[in-house]
Structure 1
Amino acid sequence: MLKAYMKEIADTTKRGDAREESYYGSLADLLSDFPLEEGRATDVTTLPKKTDAGNPDFRVWDGDHFIVGYIEAKTPGTNLDQIETSEQLERYLNTFPNLILTDFYEFRLYREGQLIDRVTIGRHFTARQLKTTPVVENADEFEALMAKFFAFKLPKSFTAEKLAVDLAKRTRFLRDQVVAEELRDESTGGGDLSGFFNAFKQYLIAGLTQEQFADLYSQTITYGLFAAKTRAEGHFNRKLAFDYIPSTIGILRDVFRFISLGELSPQMEVIVDDITAVLNAADINSILDQYYKEGKGEDPIVHFYETFLNEYDPETRERRGVYYTPEPVVKYIVRSVHQLLKDKFDLRDGLADPKVTLLDPAAGTLTFPAEAIKLAVVEYVEKYGEGGKKGFIRDQILKNYYAFELMMAPYAIGHMKISILLESLGYKLQADDRFQLYLTNTLEMEEIDQIGFPGLHSLSEESQLAGKVKKEEPILVIMGNPPYSGISSNINDWTEELLKTDIDGAQSYYKVDGKPLGEKKVWLQDDYVKFMRFAQWKIHKAGKGIVAMITNHSYLDNPTFRGMRQSLMKTFDEIYILDLHGNSLIKETTPDGSKDENVFDIRQGVAIALFLKNIIHKDSKVKHAEKYGTRETKYKYLISHNIISAGYDEIDPKAPYFFFIPRYTDDIQHYSSWLSVDTVFPLNITGIVTARDRFVIGLTKQELELRIMQFRNLSIPNEVISQTYGLKNTRGWDLSSARKELANDNNWQNYFQKIFYRPFDIRYIFYTPIMVDWGRNDFMHHMLSGENYALVLPKRVEYVGSWQNALVTDKISEHVAVSLKTTDYHFPLYVFPKEEQIDWTRTSKTVNINELILNTLNEKYDRQVTPEKIFSYIYGILYSDYYRAKYVDFLRMDFPRIPFTLNYTFFTEIARLGQRLIDLHLLKSPELAQPNVKFQGQGEDLTVGRRRYDEETERVYINKDYYFEGVAPEVWAYQIGGYQVMDKYLKDRKGRRMEDPRHYIHIATALEKTIEIQAEIDAIYPEVEKDVIQF
């Protein structure tokens, strides 16, 4: 057998024009003959491919349902050591547990990714150079290797984790190497996959990319097969899967009509068969039962899916928070709704009452409806007995409970889960039964007409059924966990109208007291807001009902949501808010300072909200409770409480903000009457965003000039510039075009400017639209045309703690110069005309202070007040720790508001102290001349290395030899915005030489003096509020 094989491949080599595929027939025959000697039938499928994507070259299986393994072949003489470390082979080894790599002479066998045997049966150079057939070597060893290969079997007993991981590996391979590749190949044609993709993109998910479709389609195949396997009895393979998909789930049947009965490409067929083989080897029902036994909760399918996603695509799992809501949260919400239906709506059977209709508009894998079903069935059986249970499920649950889901994989999993759940409750779905889970975009009202693509007519049928529920069906209970996405993809005419108009009597979110909000309202476009608005609209339209959701908690107190809060109060009679906090984005802690954790694996804090509406609307009552602490503490609380026992306190949301959390309303009233800094300085803008800081911003002008000269040098290839500096093309910027444009620009040396980059950290920027995406050039010229000041601060602050987010500059500024997590605004004192707009008969600059304020202050103080003095006064107020602490909640939410004292003496004194701060912060103060900090040390190494602060000696070490002495603890710890100033300056210079220790000493001195001046301001500040000018 081996001699004949060796002669065939040697003859092929001697022809001189042989390619890899030329040897396939000989190897396929060898692979087919080997098991025949053992009395076993084997099917060897050859899978030629155009690129390194796709499956290995050969699949070996029994022709029915058992896959032996795969072989990847390379041209004779190929260096297999190099192939072994290639991305292609790594992909194969991570996916296929039984694999041979060969160059037709050497064979390497891998088991579960590890090399377990290697044999060389002949010498390729004998055939290539000597033009003769090589002598067969190591025949016994080769037979032993092949025996190991053919002896491989999938494990008879999969653990849940092992099955989830194995399916994930194969599904990822299906996504990346098969579906994505076939979509690219079909891009110019009209293949079946392209038909599915175009139908989903046109009718279901606008903006769907090929990569996203490959993901959802591959997961759908795996979990469709999984669902089919749970219903199969006995033998199972890909072609039988279609028979086990219920006829009532038309969309899934359409997909599997193609997968089971259609003509798949060889690449698709192989990997789908492989997934089927894994499922066929596993006892699915025992595996799901294992999750119960291991105490992983009452939702084994979703826990299994979590494990799958963690292997399949950890980033997707992290990004989506996935389709899983923790059981304690679900139970709390469902129990609360059940109780409220009894207590507030006189429905004595709660969720089991015949009048209850229920909808989860963002159902995921149906966690909420499943829990509601369980509770409803328990309620029914306990009251009325087992006899009518099946009829109750058939006539009420299957007819009155609804769910919507947009993504195919959770849609498939959801149907499977409800089927298993109902069987556990004693009801087996019949051929004409279905749970009313629909594949639809909740936030899209336009129904799909008949689809031209022949394999997906059920998508339009499903759309029509979902549309009827959206538009016509009165729903009493809407519950769930809608997605959080600040940049929503659900943008259409209906959702815009839903948010912005008084639709069916429900007040717009974009107005307060009938007036527009008067600001950018991007956060009102978050998906969870749209889902809440949809639920509000449905209940408002029905006249009564309950909305119960867990969502992002930002809407509770963010000023942008004040119209939303007022609208909800006008629709609902009672509102219950349980703030679960856990917002690591703003570094939330418990009131005692200990750790506060989220109930999800996400960073955004969350809250449970229950909204109740009765037919006769009364004045809205808002009740609030909150829970801090560890995740486990919160879970225990949710398990042991419901809305009745949670201890809610009534609050009184008032204009203008209508906060859904406790607030001191007296402070709100007078603080809100003061002028906001954006009113004082009408012209303002967000800071510069380069989109490529590391390239266009430098610590020194010299290093930045070197980069730009290399960039302009077109003899250096684009690839070298890209790799060296990490520059990539973006939607609005092209590397090659930018290089050509800059190379032809003779004024390029004029573009170097100083920029306020971080606190006390002035750098150089190559400031031109060619290289900077959002340079704010029409505005920032005010800082380049003459002497000027600007106040830099954010509109909002995304972390908990004291407010310390203001700094002055006399330069152009970057967008996070002060605030680490939120965008800073730039408020100049003066504005200058552009050169072509200069009126030489007038002064060349104008004051950027509201004229009403200037006139009012001049009138109240009975003298001319200079713009500089007003600026200094505002700066002094912003550095009052008394002011910062008292109004911290408001300062975090919006631009600061400034109390202008009626007492000119106090005004002058705070302005004087404010001017001292300005001079210190611009490092222009004479007070910097006598520093307490000294730079000490000896040695040649002035490189900033491992920095540390020694509080006892008041030393800041930049490395083992050098340190700054005399830095007080409060100076070292001083924070401006999102940065600990002294540490941040050194951190950004790690690995660089400390060229100018005087600058660092001046920073320390400025902060030391700042702390002293803040105490002086605080001694005066309480007098300011006693008599404030009303404008």
Structure 2
Amino acid sequence: MKPGVLRGYSRGLKKVHEAGATTEYSYRMAFHEFLRGLFSKEYNVKIIHEPGRETFGAPDFKVFTDSGIIGYIETKAPDVDLHRLPKRDKSQIKRYSERLDNFILTNYRDFVLYQRGEKVDEVSLIDEDFNLIESNVEKFNRLIQRFLSFAVPSIKDPESLAHILAKRAMILKDVVLENMGEDEQLQYLYQAFKEHLMAGMKKSEFADAYAQTVVYGLFMARFTIKGRLTRENVAFRGVPKSLRVVHEIFKYIASDLPDYLEWILEELIAILNNVDVEALKRRFHFGNGEFDPFLHFYETFLAEYNPRLRKSKGVYYTPIPVVEFIVNSVDEILKERFGKRLHDDGVTILDPATGTGTFLGGVLDRIHRNIKGTLFQLYLKERLLNNIYGFEILISPYLVAHLKLSMVLNQWGIKLRDDERFRIYLTNALDLMRERGQAGLFERALDRESEEADKVKKNAKIFVVVGNPPYDVKPSEGWIAELMEDYLHGLGVEKEKKKGALQDDYVKFIRFAQWKIDQNGKGIVGFITNSSYLDGLVHRRMRQSLMESFDEIYIFNLHGNTRRGETDENVFDIQQGVAIALFVKLREGRHKAEECKVYYYSIVHDAGKTAREGKYGFLRNESWKTVEWKELEPKEPYYFFVPKDLSLEEEYSKFPKLDEIFEVYSSGVETQNDEATVAFTREELKQRIKDFVELGIEEIRRKYGFKDKSVWNLRDATEAVKEDVLKFGDIDRAFSSRAIKIWYKPFDVRWTYYHPQSGGFMGRPRYNSLKHLALHDNMALVTSRQVLNEFDAVLVVPTITVHRIFAAQNVNKAYLFPLYLYSDDGKTRRPNLKPEFLEELRKRYGDVTPEDFLYYAYAVLHDPKYRKRYAEFLKFDFPRIPLYDRETFEKYREIGEELVKLHLMKVDFPVEPKLVDDDLTVERVKYDGKDCVAINKTTKLCGIPSEVWEYTIGGYRVIERYLKGRKGRKLSLDELEHIYRVIEILRRTIELVRELEAIEPKF
């Protein structure tokens, strides 16, 4: 490198500085001239720079050759410390360094080189007085050579391509979001999407959709255009005109783009021009369990690009063995039960959540195996293109689905004309098109897509529905809400009707598929979904409705539910168990549920890497005809779709249930944001309440580290507290009136501000029911309505609890049954036992008190014999309490009284903590299996027997959960003594449970 170039650059900078320049833009022309001299003709390098541009979102300089992009350079002002950038710049540079393969950051004096996400070199070339640092010239030369010699390797595998494209898509999404307010064309597209595709679409969601559309549209073009891609040929030849919506979006790409979009589009095109298309095509052999590269072109891409979107939308690629099992089974059922095949006239097929088209690709593959040769092409053109339908709401998988099916055909030597397409529509399967106003060309393209999709939704006769519906819990609206009323009918509990598991999208898709088959009068549904509906209590009407529609139901439980403690590997990378369902309708109309035959098969493999492959192997080798189905006999009121040992149902159903015994009950309070609404001590809570009154919202966020998304009700909380201050006169009176203890986890007592208004200080205070506990001397039985594994969800408390006092992965929300109800003025109280039940107790046992019954019931619920005998029933509804004879009642009552007093901590034990070291900061919690638990590197709490450590309430190891709830905190002396008091409580509890086990109850 010529020394004169460097010295000339130094003089040029100094001249600009002496002229009084104060911004980075003033130095850009001098820097541009320097780069021209630096990258001499021998390198054949070109540089693009627009000195007047100040748009945020695009690097300042692009360095490239005729064969592709070399890298980018971003400039900052000379007085900016590159290692201490302002927040906005720091975020920008982090984005570039992570997502661009070759990138230089400079303040004209110092240079930092990033390659493939790592900082690989840096050097100072010019000092603060704009003099050349001669000693660093050689080091600078090496940095520049490293920058210029960087080469993007030819991309031959889908995994690498997915990761590279995902990084560029992130940049594209960010710059669209940051600049769309100033870009009329993007504003137009955004408003069109909101009006014509997805009402309520957020700007961030549009930026996501736009980025993915562009990336996958370019990807599609790479497979369809021979030769190198350009913006012009991509826009007009890369996307088939039959895909009207995407074609209209891509017309914008050929226009005079703003620089913040142009540079990243050119980068994407350069990357795709470096893809070995033929190598990728050779990898594509869809069907017969073959590798499907689209697993990486979409799922791997999305996992890198936006894992939260992937999780929230339930976007998981369906493994080929699962697809083949369902498609093959559907074809077999068609043949055996209807005398038809997938390719027959009248067999219309719909995937309402198409994703990347894996199921429809599986359908084509099965048909191709049924009718090989030129006959397949005749069926395709005359019948299949008209009989196969798909719906997809996310635009990128919609694009991939069309590309995938085209490639499926290409591998058989079949090519669609430009005016031919599969009837896969960009639409929300669970919504119908609304009335539209005037529309431009793009809106008309969206409307036409929606109109054609709506014809299928409302009118098309569908014989087969297959797919993998997404899961995403949100309220039903409009048309699908009306259909969902069938699953809600007769549930009775308002909460069940409006919220929770029945609002999961996969349930709505099952309801939609059922409706389409009912509409046709006969047909088949083949879905793989979340398995919670098989035995969920709230799904009982759903199961009954399915039995009323279909004549045969086949459930293949694939398990993998880590939330229920299952250790077998899931066929997806998720915690929720899944199941395949085949619903078969042989006759028109509806019938009694009992007329439906329900069959079940379960497959579980040991934990480990081979478990998933074992399931895949079974799915590849078996189908509906060969599986050894076991017939079930689902009965009212629950109609379970899994085997249940209900042989004791007649006996158990005679016992009164807790919600039949108590008048008033409620689930625990929902604090929504424990960081804001629950404190470890009264003093901590009081300080927080004072801050809510005295500080502004932003000051509170900074002080406590609250984030916008985590403190959903911070503004409401502060307003509620301020209203109280006005009501009570000052902060101290308001605090004294509202501050109460709350049982946060078993034996973990904290503090909260109990304001009666829902959505005020906390999400749901359930004040009308729980005020009897919160404000008065009382106690309550706490249990659950649904337990996934062994029943241990029972506790007694003197005040309110959170609704998740038990472990969420094992137990549904906790319900509280107060013992007494207080008058509004608090002067009188009455038992919360129903009068007829209290009368029955006194007939059986004499002059018993409400406390006597609570003691008795508490003992029964702790009895291992009871838990084992009625284990199956305790999983799916409130416990029932057997009323034994008077002698047995008294035995249980006596032990129960001691248990209640223990668990209310009304029994004092002498405590003597046994410590190794005295640092009480909780950093980790690890039990040694014998006697001690380590809480950090040096300190152990000892004297904890293993049976006490292992003792669970509601799925939590009590001592472990208490300590883990204090990670990052230093235990106070009170907390330390409390732990050892609980150790003694649990030790005595275990002894009393053994006494209960020895009782032989009599009726």
TM-score norm. by structure 1 comes to: 0.87
What is the aligned partner in structure 2 of residue 1029 from structure 1?
A: none
Name the CA shift for 1:944/1:311 in 2 (closer, same or farther; >3 Å).
closer
Counterpart pick for 2:247 among 253, 257, 261: 253
Q: Distance in 2 between matches of 1:938 and 1:146?
A: 58
Name the CA shift for 1:152/1:912 in 2 (closer, same or farther; >3 Å).
closer
What is the aligned partner in structure 1 of residue 608 from structure 2?
A: none
2:792 maps to 1:814: no
- Over the aligned positions, Cα root-mean-square deviation in angstroms equals 3.2
Q: Deviations over 1:637-674 (max 9, x none)?
A: 11111011111011111111111112234333443443
Q: Distance in 2 between matches of 1:298 and 1:255?
A: 31
What is the aligned partner in structure 2 of residue 79 from structure 1?
A: 81
What is the aligned partner in structure 2 of residue 505 from structure 1?
A: none
Q: Is the 8 A contact 2:645 2:872 kept in 1?
A: no
What is the aligned partner in structure 1 of residue 578 from structure 2?
A: 606
Name the CA shift for 1:140/1:829 in 2 (closer, same or farther; >3 Å).
closer
Q: Secondary structure at the match of 2:496?
A: coil
Shift of 1:467: 1.3
2:474 maps to 1:483: no
Shift of 1:876: 2.1
Q: Distance in 1 between matches of 2:554 and 2:465?
A: 15
Amino acid at match of 1:111: Q
Q: Is the 8 A contact 2:11 2:130 kept in 1?
A: no
2:994 maps to 1:1009: no
Counterpart pick for 1:646 among 627, 633, 646: 627
Q: Is the 8 A contact 2:245 2:442 kept in 1?
A: no
Q: Distance in 2 between matches of 1:899 and 1:119?
A: 81
Shift of 1:6: 4.8
Name the CA shift for 1:1019/1:105 in 2 (closer, same or farther; >3 Å).
closer
Q: Is the 8 A contact 1:351 1:376 kept in 2?
A: yes
Shift of 1:448: 6.0
Amino acid at match of 1:475: I
Counterpart pick for 1:179 among 156, 176, 179: 176
Within a 5 Å distance, the mapping from 1:263-274 to structure 2 comes to 263-274=256-267
Shift of 1:684: 1.6
Shift of 1:626: 0.7
What is the aligned partner in structure 2 of residue 826 from structure 1?
A: 816
Q: Is the 8 A contact 1:254 1:456 kept in 2?
A: no
Counterpart pick for 1:46 among 46, 50, 56: 50
Q: Is the 8 A contact 2:742 2:802 kept in 1?
A: yes
Q: Distance in 1 between matches of 2:35 and 2:548?
A: 75
What is the aligned partner in structure 1 of residue 102 from structure 2?
A: 98
- Please say which of residues 999-1008 and 734-743 is displaced more in the overlay: 734-743
Name the CA shift for 1:165/1:946 in 2 (closer, same or farther; >3 Å).
closer
Q: Secondary structure at the match of 1:479?
A: strand
Name the CA shift for 1:476/1:687 in 2 (closer, same or farther; >3 Å).
same
Q: Distance in 1 between matches of 2:395 and 2:582?
A: 29
Shift of 1:292: 6.3
Q: Secondary structure at the match of 2:215?
A: helix
Q: Is the 8 A contact 1:935 1:962 kept in 2?
A: no
Q: Is the 8 A contact 2:162 2:296 kept in 1?
A: no
Within a 5 Å distance, the mapping from 1:843-862 to structure 2 comes to 844-858=828-842, 860-861=843-844
Shift of 1:496: 1.2
Counterpart pick for 2:152 among 154, 159, 176: 154
Q: Secondary structure at the match of 1:664?
A: coil
Shift of 1:226: 0.3
Q: Distance in 2 between matches of 1:197 and 1:205?
A: 10
What is the aligned partner in structure 1 of residue 479 from structure 2?
A: 494
Q: Is the 8 A contact 1:712 1:742 kept in 2?
A: no
Q: Distance in 2 between matches of 1:563 and 1:427?
A: 47
What is the aligned partner in structure 2 of residue 747 from structure 1?
A: 733
- Please say which of residues 71-80 and 546-555 is displaced more in the overlay: 71-80
Shift of 1:613: 0.9
Amino acid at match of 2:597: K
Counterpart pick for 1:894 among 877, 882, 885: 877
2:882 maps to 1:908: no
What is the aligned partner in structure 1 of residue 953 from structure 2?
A: 976
Shift of 1:185: 3.6
Q: Distance in 1 between matches of 2:107 and 2:832?
A: 76
2:852 maps to 1:869: yes
Q: Distance in 2 between matches of 1:684 and 1:736?
A: 29
Shift of 1:761: 2.6
What is the aligned partner in structure 2 of residue 363 from structure 1?
A: 354
Shift of 1:718: 5.7
Name the CA shift for 1:937/1:1020 in 2 (closer, same or farther; >3 Å).
closer
Q: Distance in 2 between matches of 1:896 and 1:869?
A: 18
Q: Is the 8 A contact 1:810 1:922 kept in 2?
A: yes
Q: Secondary structure at the match of 2:371?
A: helix
Q: Distance in 2 between matches of 1:31 and 1:935?
A: 71
2:439 maps to 1:439: no
What is the aligned partner in structure 2 of residue 803 from structure 1?
A: 791
Shift of 1:55: 1.5
Q: Deviations over 1:591-618 (max 9, x none)?
A: xxxx312111111111100011113577
Name the CA shift for 1:721/1:423 in 2 (closer, same or farther; >3 Å).
same
Q: Is the 8 A contact 1:448 1:463 kept in 2?
A: no
Q: Is the 8 A contact 2:779 2:798 kept in 1?
A: yes
Q: Distance in 2 between matches of 1:979 and 1:136?
A: 67
What is the aligned partner in structure 2 of residue 231 from structure 1?
A: 224
Q: Is the 8 A contact 1:479 1:548 kept in 2?
A: yes
Name the count of aligned residue pairs: 969
Q: Secondary structure at the match of 1:216?
A: helix
Counterpart pick for 2:587 among 609, 615, 628: 615
Name the CA shift for 1:564/1:160 in 2 (closer, same or farther; >3 Å).
closer
Shift of 1:457: 1.8
Name the CA shift for 1:182/1:943 in 2 (closer, same or farther; >3 Å).
closer
Shift of 1:677: 1.2
Counterpart pick for 2:563 among 581, 585, 592: 585
Q: Is the 8 A contact 2:745 2:806 kept in 1?
A: yes
Name the CA shift for 1:341/1:11 in 2 (closer, same or farther; >3 Å).
same
Counterpart pick for 1:222 among 212, 215, 221: 215
Q: Is the 8 A contact 1:318 1:601 kept in 2?
A: no
Counterpart pick for 2:31 among 27, 32, 40: 27
TM-score norm. by structure 2 comes to: 0.90
Name the CA shift for 1:886/1:208 in 2 (closer, same or farther; >3 Å).
farther
Shift of 1:720: 5.4
Q: In structure 1, list runs of 5 or more residues that go unmatched.
A: 128-133, 501-507, 589-594, 1025-1031
Q: Is the 8 A contact 2:97 2:117 kept in 1?
A: yes
Q: Is the 8 A contact 1:451 1:457 kept in 2?
A: no
Counterpart pick for 1:668 among 641, 644, 649: 649
Q: Deviations over 1:848-872 (max 9, x none)?
A: 11122123333x4384432222222
Within a 5 Å distance, the mapping from 1:411-430 to structure 2 comes to 411-430=398-417
Shift of 1:12: 2.5
Q: Indicate the percent of aligned positions where both proteins have the same amino acid.
A: 36
Q: Distance in 2 between matches of 1:963 and 1:149?
A: 57
Name the CA shift for 1:47/1:222 in 2 (closer, same or farther; >3 Å).
farther
Q: Distance in 2 between matches of 1:650 and 1:135?
A: 84
Q: Secondary structure at the match of 1:825?
A: strand
Amino acid at match of 2:247: R
What is the aligned partner in structure 2 of residue 131 from structure 1?
A: none
Amino acid at match of 1:428: K
Name the CA shift for 1:409/1:616 in 2 (closer, same or farther; >3 Å).
closer
- Please say which of residues 403-412 and 882-891 is displaced more in the overlay: 882-891
Q: Secondary structure at the match of 1:675?
A: coil
Name the CA shift for 1:255/1:760 in 2 (closer, same or farther; >3 Å).
same
What is the aligned partner in structure 2 of residue 596 from structure 1?
A: 568
Q: Deviations over 1:74-123 (max 9, x none)?
A: 12243234359933222212222222322234444443345556566554
Q: Deviations over 1:266-304 (max 9, x none)?
A: 110110111011001111231353476999943212233
Name the CA shift for 1:224/1:849 in 2 (closer, same or farther; >3 Å).
same
Within a 5 Å distance, the mapping from 1:178-197 to structure 2 comes to 178-185=175-182, 191-197=184-190
Shift of 1:943: 6.2
- Please say which of residues 99-108 and 973-982 is displaced more in the overlay: 99-108
- Please say which of residues 163-172 and 671-680 is displaced more in the overlay: 671-680
2:56 maps to 1:69: no
What is the aligned partner in structure 1 of residue 201 from structure 2?
A: 208
